[in-house]
Structure 1
Amino acid sequence: MTTLKNTTFVAFIMAMVSCSKFLDVEPKASISGENIIVDETSANAALNGVYSALRTYYSVDFQSIAYLSGDNIQWTGSQSQVQEFINHQVNAENATITNTWKEIYVAVNRANQVIKNVNELAANVISEDVRKRIAGEAYFIRALAYFDLARTWGGVPLITEPTAGPTDNVGIARSSIEETYNLVLADLNRAEELLQETTNRFQATKKTVRALKARYFLYRENWQQAADYASLLIDDQANYSLLNPYYSFFADGVTGTRESVFEIFYNANEVNPHRGQWQPQQNGGTRQWAPNNTFVNLVNDPTIGGSRSALVAKDNQNRWYGNLYYRSPATDPTYVIRIAELYLIRAEANAQLGKLEEAVRDLNAIRNRAGVPQTAVGTQNELLLAIENERRLEFGLEAHRWFDLVRTGRAQTVLNISDTNRLLMPLPAEQILVDSALEQNPGY
């Protein structure tokens, strides 16, 4: 891959360079300027800023693209731009698209700052173990950010150095989707080398990296690698397991359970806006995201949804609402990777490899936990469809369904999308306007 220039986008860098504080160790920490990491304390504070940026883009905007573009969730609000996702007629001027793009690149730039500056610190101001951990976590977050960019927009401009000024991005074209995914894998490989094999459900470790690698290889249709990496987590039964019943990983205010591989932490000072979007007015929310009738019927069918019916509830107007995010104050974590996903990754990978009995075993582990009847071994196509349907329910209120249908080539059939160009989102119009080197996705 060619050497990448110090680049970023005007829209977010202008905000970054205008910050009066160079480093803020509060939850909304930000990084700007040069030489802000001078020792171990400031390096950890800077890393906190990277996690804060991840927390921001996973709070509403990115996930709303995934929710509303699928077929589980309806929009009850009045903003026509949000309805564009459900109609699969998203415009380049869409505010959610613009915000998501900016927020993800803020995370990228902060990760770049940490990676560069922590590696320049002298040995007498930071221990080698701490240096590796901080850099490894930043590489993981950058990999996740580019993975999310790739599956939303395809190939994007690749930025691997911190931004030095607001004009650094001018003239930088998009890389191909292959180059974008190559960077994701390179960052994951580097993170895996640097991080320790510990268990931490809120910060990246070697185990977290391996879990994201399993997802990465599933998307890249490298079935054996997907199965192998998923097995590394599934076989770690001392630290990860499916909790029974299904709702045990989120009910009663719990966080960081054995079900969780990686979840994003929120607190009373930096709450998760998800809660207000899902909860009805009687609970202090707006219920602008709501399960649609099809999903409600599926999840409430005892033979299909089982204990996953806990994902939905009725308000005092007899309307269904999503109940995965419910806490007050809204300290609900965002679930990025659960062990259930690793089971279903391995099931799908093994089904693609023709290992149908192994695939059924993992699928039934998920179904048993949900309290629904087991699936018998059928044809490969029947099994792949069963896994697709199980993922729809298992991750019903998590950001998977749209991306699952796109990566498997099923979106057009299931969602009745006639234009293949609509399987990728448009680049934000304002980004195209400020840099003519950026090419819009076809069809927009």
Structure 2
Amino acid sequence: MKTDYKIKYTVQLLSLCFVVVFLNSCSDYLNEQPISQPSNVTFWRNGEDANAAVAGGYSQLRKALNSGLSYYAHGDLGTDYFSTEKELRSDFTDIMKFKLGISVAVTDNWKPMYKVRDFSIFYSAIKQADLCLKHIPEIPKEEFTEYESQYNQYIGEAYFIKAFSYFYMARVWGNVPIIDSSDPDVVDIKNYKREDVAKVLIKATEDCQQAIKHLAWDYNVDTDKVVRANAGAAWALLAHIQAWSGNYAACEAAAGNVINSNFYSYIDRNNYIDIFSGQSRESIFEIAQNSEKEAQAGNGQSLTNYLLRGEYLKTRLNEKETIWQYDLTTLKQTLFDNPNDLRRTKGFAEFSSDWPILLKYSKVMYASPTSPLSINNIVVFRLADIALLQAEAQAAQGKYTEARTTLNSIREKAGLEESNAANDKLFEAVIQERGRELFMEGHRFYDLVRLAREKKVYKFGDSSSNKITPSQFENGKSYWPIQPTLIETNILFTQTEYWKSEAQ
């Protein structure tokens, strides 16, 4: 890869953080405005300041997941969901082919490949959380309207933001820096090296356990529901961390805590799309999209722009093709081969065509007549996800009866018959069910990685190519390279091992 360019790179968060006007919706909660103040003394005064600071952490997390459509680029695009034969019309083509080592000039830093290889924005979220953990305890108790509940909520959310950020980066890049949080006012990741992924996962686990200690199951106000972390979100995160770590007994237990809480319930699959309108009773954690603010700013890399057409997108009203092309073999023969599957009949329009339309993300606003903007929240964790993760954990432990029962409960809701997979194929069957249930929800790539690790079954690629071969997987190709400009500004950084060679 070329490294003959330079970019000024720093992670700078003012210690005063963000001021947020919290009104009556999750969008208003995230309408933060950066301000300048000489010191923390003038900011960390009361519960409202603490609330605003925590909101700043979520805002940074949202920016990280939206940058270059990272949440979907990392989790879905480089998988068997998409064709590499026909998808030649967007800046995401190389991501879909999993050709991640290409050079991108600094003048093209707007391109998705540049953005999705840059993990620095996650450290903005981590630093914001650390500032909360440092300064919220300094606020006098009497400055909170309900000290104990508010204090625990804000502290728990800060730990959750940290845990989620470290876990997300561990899955994508493997080895990443672990910053010293003792003085977050002066943290700059240029002073840190990339730590082993095992240490990063331990750090994510520890922060998640701290979040669980502080968070309650319920929400202070109804508008906070699922767009702010609660105990259920923290347990769901811990279940995913343990699954990724290969600790399936702990994963099963954490998932069980979510399911047995009875705090969440399933949406009728005849109304499947209701989940993606946001804040449904099935959702556990979502990233709220501040639609009005972002619509005004405009967003050329909007999910709707790539997945919709015809009557669902007025900028492509007369077009018969979407920009992104699903792999039709995967879609129609592997995943949604059963015409009775409600996730197929209710989740897609024009499924029989060569260009099916996914309805999960059909909620659109327009920044201008030519700029469509997706305003669906990012549904990060939901009940069906955690149930299938529990089934995966049960299958991995040889608890086939329990795994089959859990798997079939999800299939039944979708209108499908019970799985007839043999016990030795049950783990793979659960992964495939996750591919149906969680289609384009940012999970597929990580599910396929766990399948390859656990069963040596490699389903990367599509009907025309292998995006990651078995030998490439064993050599670490599933971990992303980091943006070369990060290496140029930090002599302690080295490139991800597999991507060091230009030939790869």
Q: Shared fold by TM > 0.5?
A: yes
Question: Offset at 1:346?
Answer: 1.2
Distance 1:260 1:22 in 2: 27
CA deviation vs aligned residue, 1:143-201 (integer Å, no higher than 9, x gap): 111111000000201125365458x3333111111110011011111111111132632
Is residue 92–residue 429 contact of structure 1 (8 Å, CA) maintained in 2? no
Which region of structure 1 is more displaced relative to structure 2, 108-117 or 413-422? Answer: 413-422
Distance 1:303 1:359, change over 3 A: farther
CA deviation vs aligned residue, 1:254-292 (integer Å, no higher than 9, x gap): 432221111222243245933333222651467434432
Match of 2:378 in 1: 334
The DSSP-based 3-state class of the residue aligned with 1:54 is helix
Match of 1:13 in 2: 11
Letter in 2 for 1:29: E
Distance 1:321 1:150, change over 3 A: same
Is residue 290–residue 321 contact of structure 1 (8 Å, CA) maintained in 2? no
Distance 1:303 1:22, change over 3 A: closer
The DSSP-based 3-state class of the residue aligned with 1:88 is coil
- 2:103 equivalent to 1:122: no
Which of 416, 423, 441 in structure 1 is aligned with 2:496?
A: 441
CA deviation vs aligned residue, 1:376-407 (integer Å, no higher than 9, x gap): 4622x211121111111111111111111112
Matches within 5 A, 1:326-365: 326-329=362-365, 330-365=374-409
Distance 1:185 1:78 in 2: 40
Match of 1:78 in 2: 89
Distance 1:246 1:179, change over 3 A: farther
In structure 1, the gaps of 5 or more residues are 1-8
CA deviation vs aligned residue, 1:221-272 (integer Å, no higher than 9, x gap): 21221111111222233x3222221643536x74322211112222432459
Which of 391, 403, 408 in structure 1 is aligned with 2:434?
A: 391
Question: Offset at 1:109?
Answer: 2.0
CA deviation vs aligned residue, 1:110-133 (integer Å, no higher than 9, x gap): 222222221222323232331221
- 2:288 equivalent to 1:258: no
The DSSP-based 3-state class of the residue aligned with 1:46 is helix
Distance 1:93 1:103, change over 3 A: farther
Letter in 2 for 1:321: I
- 2:86 equivalent to 1:66: no
Match of 2:99 in 1: 89
The DSSP-based 3-state class of the residue aligned with 1:262 is strand
Distance 1:290 1:198, change over 3 A: farther
Question: Offset at 1:443?
Answer: 2.5
Question: Offset at 1:422?
Answer: 1.6
Distance 1:391 1:173, change over 3 A: same
Aligned length: 429
Distance 2:122 2:251 in 1: 25
Distance 1:62 1:391, change over 3 A: same
CA RMSD of aligned residues (A): 3.0
Distance 1:223 1:99, change over 3 A: same
Which region of structure 1 is more displaced relative to structure 2, 219-228 or 116-125? Answer: 116-125
Distance 2:138 2:8 in 1: 26
Is residue 198–residue 205 contact of structure 1 (8 Å, CA) maintained in 2? yes
- 2:238 equivalent to 1:202: no
Which region of structure 1 is more displaced relative to structure 2, 101-110 or 182-191? Answer: 101-110
Question: Offset at 1:108?
Answer: 1.6
Is residue 137–residue 195 contact of structure 1 (8 Å, CA) maintained in 2? yes
Match of 2:350 in 1: 314
- 2:247 equivalent to 1:233: no
Question: Offset at 1:63?
Answer: 2.0
Is residue 290–residue 322 contact of structure 1 (8 Å, CA) maintained in 2? no
Matches within 5 A, 1:205-284: 205-237=230-262, 239-245=263-269, 247-248=271-272, 250=274, 254-271=277-294, 273-280=302-309, 282=311, 283-284=313-314
Which region of structure 1 is more displaced relative to structure 2, 369-378 or 287-296? Answer: 287-296
Is residue 201–residue 256 contact of structure 1 (8 Å, CA) maintained in 2? yes
Distance 1:394 1:226, change over 3 A: same
Identity among equivalent pairs (%): 23
In structure 2, the gaps of 5 or more residues are 1-6, 22-27, 105-110, 220-224, 296-301, 317-321, 366-373, 500-504
- 2:168 equivalent to 1:158: no
Match of 1:39 in 2: 46
The DSSP-based 3-state class of the residue aligned with 2:381 is strand
The DSSP-based 3-state class of the residue aligned with 1:319 is coil
Distance 2:279 2:139 in 1: 33
The DSSP-based 3-state class of the residue aligned with 1:336 is strand
Match of 1:297 in 2: 332
Distance 1:288 1:163, change over 3 A: farther
The DSSP-based 3-state class of the residue aligned with 1:443 is helix
Match of 1:105 in 2: 123
Distance 2:153 2:427 in 1: 38
Is residue 172–residue 437 contact of structure 1 (8 Å, CA) maintained in 2? yes
Which region of structure 1 is more displaced relative to structure 2, 415-424 or 343-352? Answer: 415-424
Distance 1:213 1:49, change over 3 A: same
Question: Offset at 1:28?
Answer: 4.6
Distance 1:125 1:274, change over 3 A: same
Distance 1:191 1:300, change over 3 A: closer
Distance 1:377 1:295, change over 3 A: closer
Distance 1:29 1:12, change over 3 A: farther
Which of 368, 373, 378 in structure 1 is aligned with 2:412?
A: 368
Question: Offset at 1:427?
Answer: 1.1
Is residue 223–residue 350 contact of structure 1 (8 Å, CA) maintained in 2? yes
Which region of structure 1 is more displaced relative to structure 2, 46-55 or 280-289? Answer: 280-289
Is residue 54–residue 107 contact of structure 1 (8 Å, CA) maintained in 2? yes
Is residue 291–residue 322 contact of structure 1 (8 Å, CA) maintained in 2? no
The DSSP-based 3-state class of the residue aligned with 1:250 is helix
Question: Offset at 1:345?
Answer: 1.1
Distance 1:424 1:358 in 2: 32
Question: Offset at 1:10?
Answer: 6.5
Distance 1:259 1:356, change over 3 A: same
Distance 2:190 2:278 in 1: 43
Distance 1:291 1:324, change over 3 A: farther
Distance 2:270 2:101 in 1: 38
The DSSP-based 3-state class of the residue aligned with 2:19 is coil
